[in-house]
Amino acid sequence: MKGDIIVFGRGVYYQAKRVALQKEFHVVAYLDNNAKLGDSEEGIPVYRPEELSNLPPYQIVIMTSR
């Protein structure tokens, strides 16, 4: 495993690549424009992009198709 990351986006593109990404990296958090307070994805917390400054300085992998 290559390390801890934060994933931006949980939509169609991420869902198509999720298994391969999780084989390579440990996802510690998600960023998503549609996140609601207390959201989680598979037990991993989801934050709005505005909350990024409150998170540890992990690499961010952008998983959007646009």
pTM tops 0.85: yes
Question: Mean per-residue pLDDT for 22-27?
Answer: 95
pLDDT above 90: residue 21: yes
- Please tell me the predicted confidence (pLDDT) of residue 19: 96
b/e burial code for range 15-26 (CB count within 10 A of at least 16 → b)? eeebeeeeeebe
- Please tell me the predicted confidence (pLDDT) of residue 4: 96
pLDDT above 70: residue 1: no
Q: How confident is the model at residue 47 (pLDDT cuts 50, 70, 90)?
A: very high
**Any idea which architecture 4-62 has in CATH?**
3-Layer(aba) Sandwich (3.40)
- From CA 59, how far away is CA 24, in angstroms rounded? 13
- From CA 13, how far away is CA 15, in angstroms rounded? 5
Q: What is the mean pLDDT of the chain?
A: 93
